[in-house]
């Protein structure tokens, strides 16, 4: 199929950020899929480009993007080149960015604005759930290895150190960078705790929802998706045996085809989005 790709479209919230669109050359209006990356993720990570191509070949207008404060920059979209921005990120900013993405792409001439689907991976799953509970234009939701809570902060002595120092660092195991998290992240969460409650947001969702998790997820346990399935009334849960947190993908992904487990997950997604 002849695919059209628009790479590195510049959008702006409190900071400029980038998005990609991949879609088939078609006379018909296309359903829109927006992919929401997770913590330490970015739009060009691993096999996400191949994922976009698979969705586009299945007849979707697929969008992936970098959150404005995920640490990447306009010049370096797949590197953590702005650690200050990374440290200043918070959930409210991510929800603002996602709103900008939805509004920008649902008005594209190729898009059927009555069919807007969110797919959130990991922390992006939690963000997608909250956005879905707030934005009436979302018609279907999919989560991949999603968290069931955004209260994922240091505890006890580590929390006190964070509060006193104003920053804590997490090593990026791939790049060995020390990624900062400023205390404003927690302050923003507490200020917006009601809005950022994934359980309450889940219980407001009545659109069709597909929840996918790997049985070998090393980062977010399957219990998170099981809770989401309990909370979201109109949902189905798919467990992929032996799949890890990224469904077999890694950075860099040098193969020309998708990892088996991710391909299985995407087959579930396409079936759900096409047939329900």
d(CA 182, CA 7): 31
Q: Is residue 138 part of a domain?
A: yes
Q: Which residues contact 190 (CB under 8 A, 6 or more apart)?
A: none
Instruction: Indicate whether this model's pTM tops 0.95.
Output: yes
- Residue 176: left (phi > 0), alpha (psi -120 to 50), or beta? left
84 by DSSP, 3-state: which? helix
Write out the two tokens for 229.
Answer: 């399935």
Average pLDDT, the chain: 98
Partner residues linked to 117 by β-bridges: 33, 140
Q: Which domain holds residue 269?
A: 3-148+198-275
Note the pLDDT tens digit of each residue in 109-138: 999 999 999 999 999 999 999 999 999 999
Pairing of β 30-36 and β 61-65:
parallel
Q: Is residue 129 part of a domain?
A: yes
Torsion angle (degrees, nearest 10) of CA 271, 39, 64, 50 = -60
Q: Is residue 87 part of a domain?
A: yes
Q: Is residue 183 part of a domain?
A: no
Residue 1: pLDDT band (50, 70, 90) is: confident
d(CA 17, CA 10): 6
DSSP state of 251: S
Q: Is residue 181 part of a domain?
A: no
Q: Is residue 192 part of a domain?
A: no
Residue 106: pLDDT band (50, 70, 90) is: very high
Residue 203: pLDDT band (50, 70, 90) is: very high
Q: Is residue 160 part of a domain?
A: no
How many domains does the chain contain in total?
1
Q: Is residue 165 part of a domain?
A: no
DSSP per position, 181-236: EETHHHHHHHHTTTTT-HHHHHHH--S-EEEEEETT-SSS-HHHHHHHHHH-TTEE
Q: What pLDDT, on the 0 to 100 scale, is given for residue 72? A: 98
Closest by alpha carbon to 224, among 156, 137, 125, 158? 125
Q: Residue 266 maps to which CATH number?
A: 3.40.50.1820
């Amino acid at each position: 199929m002849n695919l059209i790709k628009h790479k590195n479209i510049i959008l702006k919230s409190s900071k400029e950020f980038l998005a990609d669109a991949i879609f088939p050359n078609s006379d018909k209006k296309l359903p829109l899929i927006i992919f929401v990356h997770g913590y330490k993720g970015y739009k060009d990570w691993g096999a996400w480009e191949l994922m976009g191509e698979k969705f586009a070949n299945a007849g979707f207008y697929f969008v992936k993007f970098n959150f404005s404060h995920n640490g990447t920059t306009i010049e370096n979209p797949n590197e953590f080149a702005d650690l200050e921005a990374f440290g200043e990120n918070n959930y409210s900013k991510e929800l603002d960015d996602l709103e900008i993405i939805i509004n920008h792409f649902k008005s594209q001439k190729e898009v059927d604005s009555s069919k807007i689907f969110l797919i959130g991976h990991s922390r992006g799953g939690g963000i997608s759930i909250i956005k879905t509970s707030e934005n009436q234009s979302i018609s279907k939701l999919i989560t991949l290895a999603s968290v069931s809570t955004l209260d994922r902060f240091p505890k006890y002595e580590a929390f006190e150190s964070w509060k006193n120092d104003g920053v804590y660092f997490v090593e990026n195991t791939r790049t060995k960078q020390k990624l900062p998290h400023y205390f404003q992240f927690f302050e923003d969460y507490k200020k917006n705790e009601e809005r950022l409650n994934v359980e309450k947001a889940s219980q407001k969702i009545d659109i069709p929802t597909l929840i996918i998790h790997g049985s070998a997820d090393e980062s977010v346990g399957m219990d998170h998706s099981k809770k989401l399935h309990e909370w979201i009334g109109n949902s189905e849960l798919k467990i992929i045996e032996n799949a890890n947190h990224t469904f077999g993908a890694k950075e860099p992904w040098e193969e020309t085809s998708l990892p088996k487990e991710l391909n299985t997950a995407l087959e579930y997604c396409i079936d759900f989005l096409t047939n329900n």
